[in-house]
Amino acid sequence: MRRKNWRLVIVGLILVVLAGGFLLFMMSIAGRSNDPVALMRTVGQVSGVVGALGLVMATVGFIGRKT
């Protein structure tokens, strides 16, 4: 039997939601930037890393550990 770590699952899902929200928020601001392509490239990389980290945290927490 494995015991799920719900704290990791919740924090991971929150990170995924925050990464998506950050990406959408920055998409609305990108038009006013001097270099919107470079801005969105950087924002996409950051959002991707944070989203992937959150997904890994949620997966590891959902799998859990042996008791």
Cα gap 20→34, rounded to integer Å: 23
Number of Cβ within 10 Å of residue 44's Cβ equals 13
Which pLDDT belongs to residue 5?
Answer: 94
Structure tokens at 32: 């006013």
Q: Which domain holds residue 45?
A: 2-66
Backbone region of residue 5 per phi and psi (left: phi > 0; alpha: psi in -120 to 50; beta: other values): beta
Q: Report how many domains make up the chain.
A: 1
Q: What are the b/e assignments for 14-29, b being 16+ CB within 10 Å?
A: ebbeebeeebeebeee
- Predicted TM-score (pTM) of this structure: 0.88
What's the pLDDT at 66? 86
pLDDT along the chain (67 residues), means of 10: 93 97 95 94 97 97 90
